[in-house]
Amino acid sequence: MPSVGRGRKPRGFLPRSSTIIGVVLLLVLPVQAIPEFTSGAPGAPVLSQAQSFATKINHIIIVMMENHAYDNYFGTYCQNLTKFCSMTGNGLPTGTCVPYDPSNLSLGCITPFPLTRQNWTITAPMPHSSNSSIFSWNNGSMNDFYLGEKSSNYPFGYYNKFTAPILWDLAEQYGLGDNFFSSTLSYSLPNHWHLVAGQAPPAIQSNLIGASKSYRLANRTVYLSQANATTSVEERLLNTSVSWNWYDHSIGTNYSAAIGNTTPGGSGGWAYAYYNPLAAKAKNYNATLSAHFLNNSRFFKDARKGTLPDVSWVVPPAADSDHPPSASNVAQGWVSSVVDAVESSPDWNTSAVFISWDEYGGFYDHVAPPLARGTNLTLGFRVPLLVISPYARENYIGHSLGYFESLLRTVENRFSLPCITAMDCNAPTLYQFFNFSQSPRAPMIFPTSDANAGYPIPLQPPGAVAGPMPPFYPPVQYTYFPNGEGPDVD
């Protein structure tokens, strides 16, 4: 646990609340008993749902954005039933006020507040290492974010329909998960590992302590050794007919150059990439496997041509990633561009798009993470999950537990791949977001600029029939990488 000074009167740019609440009410989530997994055995989903998913969905697209908690984007979304909210979400409870210092309540507390458009770009440090995560979590009390983040009041700001209109429109038209968690109380790289491996190399996790960028780079030889020994999804895909691409950037075929390059970015690959853990593994640099790692701009072309692979992992350039100080409105436009590319694609009727954020990024969330099923491991902070598909339920909020291994398990179940660890073998499924008895929904095109976006938009009428869809070309700012884009960040 980091050493943080206590007892000093904090300074913030907002007045503190006159009401002090020492403990915020939490949603207590029961952990269901799950039988022990058999290593290498496929998970056992509800067969009727899994069979329907396998029959209808041929293209799984997983999009991983950066650094936003659920309450930060959707804390005030659908708090009451309305024409555009057929369900209510588990957002910020009325009266929430988070203490400046839980051990000294006389200092007052902070009421979460709406961010403005000027806060689309946030420059506060907002640490989100394992140490700051564990400090803010405070044994599940979720009340030590001010001292844990050392970022004035910024962690307690949230976006709303005026500042996140594109995301709110996507949630309104399709599915939103309000009980979905990152996999571990740590920063980006371990969580990206969990997305593809159900685990993370100990050198970057270190039992949730000490995992930081400087620690990892200082121990990069150990990290690479452990990474190469870590089973992940590409091993499961070897020698199958399942097609897949990792849309981030080309890693090339020179592993020595990639491990020798300690500076992010560059055309020679980067084995320590935060958004692509598979770049750390030597086997992926052979000509056959390296061909699966493509510039993210290629995704738009493949969608337009109707040549999307069975599984796509889509990662934004740093400037579009939603990682502060990258602008939120730009990231929302990039997300919309990916969705529009799929909806305009010949592959739309057989696709499911899952969009999430890799960790909390320092932003406050009020729900204490539970244990991962079948383990004694505490999950990471809650993050949004958007589910978009012609079979997605409209205006739906899913309350069932899920986490990044649920996405991995979705891939494993759909393509009959063996699972890897207790985390993915026991992960909850995400079939609740789909209604496979409905006819495929007509595609919808969403604005790619906040200037043209607004919430709410009309709900799609039942049985809407699609007209001819013109090819989708995203705004030019989303079509180039690596030229003009920054490197990966943590």
What is the per-residue pLDDT for 130? 85
Residue 58's alpha-carbon distances to 312, 340, 348, 389, in angstroms, are: 11, 18, 10, 11
Residue 174's alpha-carbon distances to 122, 398, 424, 426, in angstroms, are: 28, 11, 25, 26
What is the per-residue pLDDT for 245? 98
pTM recorded for the entire structure: 0.89
CA nearest to 176, candidates 74, 92, 76: 74
In this structure, are strands 109-110 and 98-99 parallel, antiparallel, or unpaired? Answer: antiparallel
Q: What is the DSSP string of 379-440?
A: P--B--EEEE-TTBPTTEEE-S-EEHHHHHHHHHHHTT----SHHHHTPPP-GGGB-TTSPP
Residue 151's alpha-carbon distances to 4, 10, 13, 155, 450, in angstroms, are: 13, 11, 11, 7, 27
List Cβ neighbours of 361 (8 Å cut-off, separation of 6 or more): 66, 67, 68, 69, 72, 126, 128, 323, 324
Characterize 191-212 residue by residue with b for buried, 16 or more Cβ atoms within 10 angstroms of its Cβ, and e for exposed. Answer: bbbbbbbbbbbebbbbebebbb
What is the per-residue pLDDT for 18? 32
Residues found in the chain? 490
List Cβ neighbours of 227 (8 Å cut-off, separation of 6 or more): 201, 277, 280, 281
What is the per-residue pLDDT for 263? 63
- Tell me how many helices (H) and strands (E) the chain has: 16, 14
More confident residue, 222 or 143: 143
Distance CA 453, CA 449 (A): 7
213: confidence class by pLDDT, cuts 50, 70, 90: low
More confident residue, 377 or 266: 377
Residue 236's alpha-carbon distances to 160, 242, 248, 417, in angstroms, are: 40, 10, 20, 6
In this structure, are strands 244-248 and 180-181 parallel, antiparallel, or unpaired? Answer: unpaired
Residues 329/335, Cβ–Cβ less than 8 Å: no
Residues 177/428, Cβ–Cβ less than 8 Å: no
Alpha helix (H) residue ranges in 206-273: 213-218, 220-229, 233-237, 255-260
Residues 36/293, Cβ–Cβ less than 8 Å: no
Q: What is the pLDDT of residues 398-435, one digit of tens each?
A: 999 999 999 999 999 999 999 999 999 999 999 999 99
Backbone Cα Rg of the chain: 21
204: confidence class by pLDDT, cuts 50, 70, 90: confident
Residues 197/427, Cβ–Cβ less than 8 Å: no
Instruction: Give the rounded percent of residues in the chain with a pLDDT score beyond 90.
Output: 70
Q: If DSSP codes are grouped into helix, strand and coil, which group holds residue 203?
A: helix
CATH topology of domain 47-478: Alkaline Phosphatase, subunit A (3.40.720)
In this structure, are strands 311-314 and 244-248 parallel, antiparallel, or unpaired? Answer: parallel
Q: What is the pLDDT of residues 102-119, one digit of tens each?
A: 999 999 999 999 999 988
H or E element that contains 341: helix 328-343
What is the per-residue pLDDT for 249? 86
Residues 440/391, Cβ–Cβ less than 8 Å: yes
CB 314: neighbour CB atoms within 10 A?
24
- Over 50: is that where the pLDDT of 257 sits? yes
Residues 91/112, Cβ–Cβ less than 8 Å: no
More confident residue, 323 or 468: 323
H or E element that contains 176: strand 175-177
193: confidence class by pLDDT, cuts 50, 70, 90: very high
Residues 321/489, Cβ–Cβ less than 8 Å: yes
Residues 456/172, Cβ–Cβ less than 8 Å: yes
More confident residue, 411 or 5: 411
Q: What is the DSSP string of 85-112?
A: BSS----PPTT--EES-TT-GGG-EE--
Distance CA 317, CA 308 (A): 20
- Over 70: is that where the pLDDT of 40 sits? no
pLDDT (mean) for 197-210? 73
Hey, which residues does 352 pair with through a beta bridge?
A: 60
Distance CA 54, CA 280 (A): 31
More confident residue, 11 or 157: 157
What is the per-residue pLDDT for 253? 93
2: confidence class by pLDDT, cuts 50, 70, 90: very low
Residues 303/347, Cβ–Cβ less than 8 Å: yes
361: confidence class by pLDDT, cuts 50, 70, 90: very high
Q: State both tokens at 74.
A: 């959707």
CA nearest to 391, candidates 441, 464, 340: 441
Residue in this structure with the two tokens 């690479």, named with its chain if needed: 224
Residues 361/69, Cβ–Cβ less than 8 Å: yes
CB 174: neighbour CB atoms within 10 A?
24
CA nearest to 174, candidates 324, 361, 351, 378: 351
H or E element that contains 338: helix 328-343
Residue in this structure with the two tokens 């969580």, named with its chain if needed: 191
More confident residue, 269 or 107: 107
- Over 60: is that where the pLDDT of 209 sits? no
